[in-house]
Every structure is written in structure tokens, then in C-alpha cells.
Amino acid sequence: MGGIAIVSFFAGLLVVILVHELGHYAFARLWRFRVLEYFVGFGPKLWSTVRNRIEYGVKALPLGGYVKIAGMNPYETVEPEDVPSAYFSKPIWQRAVVIAAGPCSHFLLAAVMFAAVLFFVGDRTIAFKVGGVDETLADGSTSPAYAAGIQAQDRIVRIGDVDDPSGDQLGEQIGAHVGEPLPVTVQRGDETIDLTVVPVTDCVEGTWAGVAGMVLADDAGRARITNVDDELPDGSVSPAVDAGLQAEDTIIRIGDLEEPSAAEVRTLIRDETGTALPMAVVRDGREITTTLTPVRGCSGGLEIPRMGILLAPDPLPLPQAVVEGGQMVAVSAWDSVKSIGRVFGPEGVGRIASLLFTDAEREITDPASVVGIGQQVGAVGEDGQWPVIVAFLAYVTVFIGLVNLIPLPPFDGGHLLMLVIEKIRGKAVDMRRVIPVSVTVMAFLVTFVMATVIVDITKPLPTP
């Protein structure tokens, strides 16, 4: 599934890029610009045909496509018969629309993708209905939702004092009432039912076992502590702090184990909840003895407040899906604007340099290349989360569209800036003088992308 997801994602991305070029092409043809070529891909030519004096074809590298219009390249000669329909002969407003049509197509495509997810699947940020109910929790006890009588397909219309709660509001109410009766109203068919749930803390994707609040390195040989947590998730002081343990301590004895490995220490702690374990560590060449008492906690997972339900979205009516799809484009655009400044600014460049030349660990918020994006899509695809992949493709589509609007050549935004300058000055900009800027921008972009690819290969992003 992961491989299929990656191929599908990049096939979708290629379609987005081709539609981008189709935007340029369509408006250029509408106003009779002299279009010379429309190619899929870059590099060596694999196939082409000429129709109406336009060469259409496919090139070897499926990394996008391009539309070539007479008069846009300052170093190419325009045939005399093509001068009236060349790029520089057309009104500024027509040239601006031809240029802007490419990146603007991204926002239209993203709106369609977001609307499709909302129409066919629903909004996963809103708790419209209960997709399923866990009968038991991680410790084997009956889940609060099952005990309260909540059923799959129930629609939560009120929880606590919140009507029509969103997913975030539902989580806030559950977290604020752990161990307390919480009124919940559900819609079941034509019937409205009032119930009471008592949320509890559960261990998700892990098991309840002994925990000590410390991290052990997976080095060969004796167990070495790499980090000590001050508190456990419930706010209590961690047993490791109580025992006076510190990062870089090496455990030489614990319980009946001598010279234990990290795996042996983890197993002992997991199995000995509430047992005072005598232990000795080496710190700066000195042996220090202490006692560690593991406490019950969530081992190998996440300890969170729950009531034992799985949420599922409801598909939205088409008009609402279209409206909210447009709103999601606006939200994605604003997020993308902030991301562009972070990724290509000093923070992003510095972060990639640090990852490339130091032992810094990769974080999920780091810049990523197509390799890193593929890794993330593959991980999501393994779980069968196709709506998430489509929504992610929509976000990437918006991001690429905005990158194309950066007011620097050779981006489309750079061409639009040249048109603005031409309008203000009353004469065209000599594009030959702009070539050094284009080369500099491309050199930076290629270097940044290649460095990010290397980082993605050597230090993959954490799996979502």
C-alpha cells in the first residue's frame, strides 16, 4: 500500500504541474499568442508531433512540463511573421493573465481536491459521528463509552456544555473531566439520547506496565541513560528523579542483574511495578548506589484521556463541501506563506546545514524534498489513509502555486514583477539583464534541494 500511495501521490503531483502549464497554454491560445511548444517532462525528447505550428511532445524526465511562447526568451530570434503574436507584442494585462493562469490553477485544483475529500469522506476535524466503540481499554477494563451505552453511528450533538462539538472541543471536554461524570447527548436515528460518561486515562498503542521516567541508549554493552524526565504524564515526579539518576549514568547493577543491557533493564522495569530495585550506576568514574521504584504507567505508547470511541466524519453536502474546500485553500495558503519564509529563509537554510554537517537529529517540522515527502506519504499509505494523502496533495499543490508566485525570476511571480515594472516605467524590461538573477535563484534552489535530498536519505523524517 505504501508504494502504491507514493506512486499515486507523485502521479497526482505531475498532473498538477501539467495543469499549471495548461493554464498558461489555454490563455495564450485564447489571445492568439504564438505558442511554439507544449512538452511533458524535461531533458531528451522521446516523442513529439507538430500541429498548427505547435510542437507537442514528451521528454525523458517526468518532472513537470513547459509551454514555450515566442518572444519570452531574450536570446531567441522571433520569426518576422510571428512578431505580431509574440509575447512582447501583446497587451500587458493579457501577458499578466497568461503568466498568472499557471499558479492560479493550483488553487482551483486544491479547492477541488479538498471539496472531494469533504464530499466523499467528510471533515476529519469535526466529530460528526461515532465510527466505533472499544469494549475494553488497554488494561482490560470496560471502556467508559461502552459502559455508558454509546454505539457506533451515534452522532454526538452535545458534550458537557458544548453543542455540536468539534474534534478539538470533544478532546478538551474529555481531558477536563477525567474521573468525573460527563453528560453526553447523542442522536441515534430519530431519537435523542442523554448519557453520562466518566472519562479515564488510557494507554494508546502501548501497555500499562512499570515505568521509571528515563530513556536508555540502544548501544551495545551496558545500559546507559541518555535522558531523565522530571515528571511523568500525570504530573508526578518520575522514579528516576526520585532515585537521583542523571543523563549519561551507566547502569552496572539493578535488581539481580549485573552489567545489564538496555533491553534487560527495560524488561525488569516493565515487570516490577511498585518494587524497590537496588541499583548502582557509574557517573564520572564513580560508583553510586540508589534504589529505583518503577510505577504503573504507559509503556511504549501514549497516555491520554479517553472514553473509548473512534470518531468518523460524515460526508458534507456538495454546496457545503465546495464552500469549505475554498476555505481550506485560504487556510493552506496562509500556512504556506509562513512555511515558504521559514523553509527558504535563514531558519530553513541553517537547519539543513546543521543536519548536513552535524549530528543534529531530524524533526518532523524540518524542510523536506520530494524524497522526504515520499517517505511520509508511504507511511500514511501503509495505514490506508487515502483521504489524508489527497488532502496533503492539495496542500502541496497550494504550496507550489505560491512558490511560483515569489516575485523573483525565473518564477512566474518574477515575470509578473517585470510586467509591473514595465507598466510603471512605460517601457519593457531588458530580460537579458535579469538573467543573472534567474541563474542565482536557480543555483540556490538546486543547491538547497540537493542538500535536502541528501538529508532525507541519511536522516529520514520521523514517521507520522
CA nearest neighbour of 401 among 5, 115, 21 = 21
3-state secondary structure the chain: CHHHHHHHHHHHHHHHHHHHHHHHHHHHHHCCCCEEEEEEEEEEEEEEEEECCEEEEEEEEEEEEEEEECCCCCCCCCCHHHHHHCHHHCCHHHHHHHHHHHHHHHHHHHHHHHHHHHHHCCCCCECCEEEEECCECCCCCECHHHHHCCCCCCEEEEECCEECCEHHHHHHHHHHCCCCCEEEEEEECCEEEEEEECCEEEEECCEEEEECCEEECCCCCCCEEEEECCECCCCCECHHHHCCCCCCCEEEEECCEECCCHHHHHHHHHHCCCCCEEEEEEECCEEEEEEECCEEEEECCEEEEECCEEEECCCCCHHHHHHHHHHHHHHHHHHHHHHHHHHHCHHHHHHHHHHHHCCCCCCCCCCCCHHHHHHHHHHHHHCCCHHHHHHHHHHHHHHHHHHHCCCCCCCHHHHHHHHHHHHHHCCCCCHHHCHHHHHHHHHHHHHHHHHHHHHHHHCCCCCC
pLDDT digits (tens, 9 = 90+) for 278-317: 999 999 999 999 999 999 988 877 888 999 888 777 788 8
The residue that leads in pLDDT, 462 or 433, is 433
Going by pLDDT thresholds of 50, 70 and 90, the confidence category of residue 125 is low
The overall average pLDDT reported for the chain is 90
What mean pLDDT is predicted for residues 255-283? Answer: 92
User: In the chain, what are the domains?
Assistant: 2-34+70-120+371-458 (no CATH), 213-293 (2.30.42.10)
Task: Give the whole-number percent of the chain exceeding pLDDT 70.
Answer: 97
What pLDDT, on the 0 to 100 scale, is given for residue 72?
Answer: 93
What mean pLDDT is predicted for residues 105-128? Answer: 85
What pLDDT, on the 0 to 100 scale, is given for residue 126?
Answer: 59
Task: Residue count of the chain, please give it.
Answer: 464
What mean pLDDT is predicted for residues 374-402? Answer: 85
CA nearest neighbour of 13 among 441, 455, 454, 377 = 377
Mean pLDDT is highest, among 62-76, 93-107, 170-184, 356-370, for 93-107
Tell me how far apart the 2 most distant CA atoms of the chain are, in Å.
Answer: 93
The residue that leads in pLDDT, 69 or 464, is 69
What pLDDT, on the 0 to 100 scale, is given for residue 21?
Answer: 93
What pLDDT, on the 0 to 100 scale, is given for residue 108?
Answer: 97
The residue that leads in pLDDT, 22 or 301, is 22
Going by pLDDT thresholds of 50, 70 and 90, the confidence category of residue 464 is low
* Least confidently predicted of 222-226, 233-237, 423-427: 233-237
pLDDT at 42 over 80: yes
pLDDT at 170 over 70: yes
How far apart, in Å, are the Cα atoms of 207 and each of 138, 179, 294, 442? 6, 20, 14, 51
Sorted by sequence, the CB contacts under 8 Å of residue 8 that are 6+ apart come out as 381, 389
What pLDDT, on the 0 to 100 scale, is given for residue 251?
Answer: 94
What pLDDT, on the 0 to 100 scale, is given for residue 168?
Answer: 77
Going by pLDDT thresholds of 50, 70 and 90, the confidence category of residue 82 is very high
* Least confidently predicted of 183-192, 226-235, 256-265, 415-424: 226-235
The residue that leads in pLDDT, 275 or 122, is 275
Whole-angstrom distance, CA of residue 240 vs CA of residue 295: 10
pLDDT digits (tens, 9 = 90+) for 312-332: 777 888 998 999 999 999 999
What pLDDT, on the 0 to 100 scale, is given for residue 53?
Answer: 93
The residue that leads in pLDDT, 225 or 127, is 225
pLDDT at 127 over 60: no
Going by pLDDT thresholds of 50, 70 and 90, the confidence category of residue 379 is confident
What mean pLDDT is predicted for residues 199-203? Answer: 90
Residue 419 pairs in a beta bridge with: none
Q: What amino acid is encoded at 125 in this protein?
A: T
Whole-angstrom distance, CA of residue 121 vs CA of residue 68: 40
What pLDDT, on the 0 to 100 scale, is given for residue 128?
Answer: 63
The residue that leads in pLDDT, 294 or 42, is 294
What mean pLDDT is predicted for residues 338-361? Answer: 90
What pLDDT, on the 0 to 100 scale, is given for residue 370?
Answer: 82
What pLDDT, on the 0 to 100 scale, is given for residue 105?
Answer: 96
